[in-house]
Amino acid sequence: MTSSTSSSHTVGATEPPLLEETIGQNLANTVAAHGDREALVVRHQDIRWTYQEFWDQVDLVARALVARGFVKGDRIGIWAPNVSEWILVQYATARIGVIQVSINPAYRTHEVAYVLNQSGCRGLVAATEFKTSDYRKMVAEVRDDVPGLEQVVFIGTSDWDELLAAADSVTSEQVAEIEATLSPTDPINIQYTSGTTGFPKGATLSHRNVLNNGYFVAEACDYTENDRVMIPVPLYHCFGQVMGNIGCTTHGATAIYPAASFEPVATLEAVAEERATSLYGVPTMFIAQLGEEGFADYDLASLRTGIMAGSPCPIEVMRQTMSEMNMDEVTIAYGMTETSPVSTQTATDDPVDKRVSTVGRVQPHIEVKVIDPETGETVPRGVTGEFCTKGYSVMLGYWENPERTAESIDSDGWMHSGDTAVMDEDGYVNIVGRIKDMVIRGGENVYPREIEEFLFAHPLIRDVQVIGVPDEKYGEEIMAWVQVVEGESLTADDVRDFCKGKIAHYKIPRYVEVADEFPMTVTGKIQKFKLREAAIEQLGLADAAAIQTA
């Protein structure tokens, strides 16, 4: 790692070199080296595959998709919780050059129709149902509005069986021939991030983006083929599919899914019974496990490392994780979907004070800097500014959205995060806030503008401002300040009922307050920080606001 000690600009190490291969080529190498080792354990599906068995399953799905007419550059959506079929679609599409579109399982009709249309999905692989989501019903509701969607396959039904049966007409050699035509720089994944303009944006990532990021994140955790990685975080997110799945397959380690979605008891049981060496989670997941009744009864002695990421990490929670969960080498990672995702990470041997109070230093083959958002100049160490990233990890762009891409990636290739950060004299970064008003609720990025656009459709809402307010469990919660049409009245329940079933549950405001007017600057700009200050006082959230994070 090189850097100027005076300016907030650092360049990551150049060794080991970048992986200049496709995801399929890398997996083939791992299978050749570790074919008999356990690759995947999905406890709720009673699945336990070696690397050779996993390869055979991936090959089967790849052949099936080719038989169904999917070709390089086509898009296939995957809309499901953490199941074996998810990772099979991830690696099968990568082997044939089809772009996998990762769809949040919490999405409702409004959101899924937009994503399917905007990405131009020809196919969709979906669960039938999960929690309160009836995917069959929702797909049926939007099918007429998504004319490009030709094939829908529901997991666990005859649809899936028929898909696999189609594989008989295509050979493994044919898949290998397709794979040989692929380039590491080809797009392979579209992940949607909430949009500041009311709709999500599709961050388009290449083999090179995600393969290397998964590899180097795992390197920072010192993974070998002997590691067993517990992945309770969602696969649709980079945390699960890149840092989890690809982190494991690049090292011959074992990926373990304890449940279809996060459940504290299922995770603790799985760690104990599977002898996991590493555990992933956003802070709320670790808080839930540490607070679980009977926590002390679980044997967590096998743990040594893990990753806490996805939202600001409370320092006290980090300390408890190290002391009470045996995760002495736990790391904190920071990044964004648009950077594949990780830009900085603490090391397993960093001083404890750095590991609990910062998000680490720059990753290999990446540059980071902190700039003055007004002038664009790099600020001195110790001065707050906007965090920017440059290097292999920066996305190809937002899918078919050059305007938004140009707003985020400057002419020199720097991805502007919108997060405010400060870099210390040793190059460690601390995230201190956000230039934009994005809310991070339990690891989910939520842009207030998206919710505001939706709530504007309510006939009784004249104006609305959505903010994040401090929350001890989720880090932040959603709050809507609304102005009601003159002569009408509206309750918080009315607003939440309007949202249910139409937008994802984590975007539904927990708090709703009616206001006659919003605080404004002399130029007419609404001062959201004043709304937040008022909310903290009104709702009694001072304690939550005082929690320190890295």
User: Kind of pairing, strands 439-441 and 429-434?
Assistant: unpaired
Q: Is residue 111 part of a domain?
A: yes
Q: Is residue 332 part of a domain?
A: yes
CATH of the domain at 82: 3.40.50.980
Q: How far apart are CA 293 and CA 289, in angstroms?
A: 9
What pLDDT is attached to residue 198? 59
Q: How far apart are CA 50 and CA 36, in angstroms?
A: 6
Task: Tell me: do 16 and 121 sit in the same domain.
Answer: no
Taking every pair of Cα atoms in the chain, the longest distance, rounded to a whole number of angstroms, is 72
Task: Tell me: do 68 and 3 sit in the same domain.
Answer: no
Can you tell me which residue has the tokens 């961050």? 203
Can you tell me which residue has the tokens 């797009």? 187
Q: Is residue 194 part of a domain?
A: no
Q: For the purposes of burial, counting CB atoms within 10 Å of the CB of 225, is it exposed (0-12), middle (13-18) or buried (19 or more)?
A: middle
Q: How far apart are CA 347 and CA 94, in angstroms?
A: 30
Task: Tell me: do 268 and 178 sit in the same domain.
Answer: no
Are 180 and 73 contacting, i.e. CB atoms less than 8 angstroms apart? no
Q: Is residue 232 part of a domain?
A: yes
User: What residues contact residue 373 under an 8 Å CB cut-off, 6+ apart?
Assistant: 385, 386, 435
3-state secondary structure 307-359: EECCCCCEHHHHHHHHHHCCCCCCEEEEECHHHCCEEEECCCCCCHHHHHHCC
Q: Is residue 99 part of a domain?
A: yes
3-state secondary structure of 44: helix
Task: Tell me: do 8 and 113 sit in the same domain.
Answer: no
Are 478 and 451 contacting, i.e. CB atoms less than 8 angstroms apart? yes
CATH of the domain at 337: 3.40.50.12780
Task: Tell me: do 31 and 8 sit in the same domain.
Answer: no
Annotate 406-473 with DSSP letters as a single string.
HHHB-TTSPEEEEEEEEE-TTS-EEEEEESS--EEETTEEE-HHHHHHHHTTSTTEEEEEEEEEEETT
Task: Tell me: do 282 and 293 sit in the same domain.
Answer: yes
What pLDDT is attached to residue 196? 43
What are the pLDDT tens digits along the chain (550 aa)?
544 468 999 999 999 999 999 999 999 999 999 999 999 999 999 999 999 999 999 999 999 999 999 999 999 999 999 999 999 999 999 999 999 999 999 999 989 999 999 999 999 999 999 999 999 999 999 999 999 999 999 999 999 999 999 999 999 999 999 999 999 999 999 999 865 445 789 999 999 999 999 999 999 999 999 999 999 999 999 999 999 999 999 999 999 999 999 999 999 999 999 999 999 999 889 989 999 999 999 999 999 999 999 877 878 889 999 999 999 999 999 999 999 999 999 999 999 889 888 999 999 999 999 999 889 999 999 999 999 999 999 999 999 999 999 999 999 999 999 988 999 999 999 988 777 677 889 988 787 878 988 998 899 998 899 999 999 999 999 999 999 988 999 999 999 999 999 999 999 999 999 999 888 765 566 888 899 999 999 999 999 888 888 7
Element (H, E) at 537: helix 528-539
Tokens of 501: 């079933």
Annotate 83-130 with DSSP letters as a single string.
-HHHHHHHHHHHHHTPEEEE--TT--HHHHHHHHHHHT-SEEEE-SEE
Q: How far apart are CA 149 and CA 396, in angstroms?
A: 24
Are 129 and 77 contacting, i.e. CB atoms less than 8 angstroms apart? no
Element (H, E) at 21: none
CATH of the domain at 531: 3.30.300.30
- The one-letter code for the residue type at 145 is D
Q: How far apart are CA 309 and CA 368, in angstroms?
A: 18
Q: Is residue 45 part of a domain?
A: no
Q: Half-sphere exposure of residue 178, counting CA atoms within 13 Å on the CB side?
A: 24
Q: How far apart are CA 231 and CA 5, in angstroms?
A: 37
Tokens of 442: 């339990």
User: What residues contact residue 211 under an 8 Å CB cut-off, 6+ apart?
Assistant: 19, 21, 22, 23, 26, 184, 246, 250
Q: For the purposes of burial, counting CB atoms within 10 Å of the CB of 354, is it exposed (0-12), middle (13-18) or buried (19 or more)?
A: buried
Range of the domain at 460: 446-545
By C-alpha distance, which of 94, 74, 85 is closest to 27? 94
Q: For the purposes of burial, counting CB atoms within 10 Å of the CB of 425, is it exposed (0-12), middle (13-18) or buried (19 or more)?
A: exposed
Task: Tell me: do 511 and 459 sit in the same domain.
Answer: yes
Element (H, E) at 297: none
Q: How far apart are CA 115 and CA 328, in angstroms?
A: 40
Tokens of 446: 């939520």
Task: Tell me: do 335 and 465 sit in the same domain.
Answer: no
A 10 A CB-CB count for 394 gives: 22
The domain total for the chain is 3
- The one-letter code for the residue type at 109 is T
Q: For the purposes of burial, counting CB atoms within 10 Å of the CB of 47, is it exposed (0-12), middle (13-18) or buried (19 or more)?
A: middle
User: What residues contact residue 268 under an 8 Å CB cut-off, 6+ apart?
Assistant: 289, 292, 295, 298, 300
Task: Tell me: do 283 and 351 sit in the same domain.
Answer: yes
Task: Tell me: do 346 and 322 sit in the same domain.
Answer: yes
Q: H-type helices in 200-294, by residue range?
A: 207-220, 238, 247-249, 264-274, 283-290
Q: Is residue 233 part of a domain?
A: yes
Task: Tell me: do 388 and 458 sit in the same domain.
Answer: no
Is the peptide bond between 341 and the residue preceding it cis, with omega within 30 degrees of 0?
yes
Q: Is residue 10 part of a domain?
A: yes
Q: How far apart are CA 510 and CA 530, in angstroms?
A: 19
Q: Half-sphere exposure of residue 346, counting CA atoms within 13 Å on the CB side?
A: 27
Task: Tell me: do 66 and 81 sit in the same domain.
Answer: yes
User: What residues contact residue 331 under an 8 Å CB cut-off, 6+ apart?
Assistant: 220, 221, 305, 306, 307, 308, 345, 346, 347, 348, 355, 360
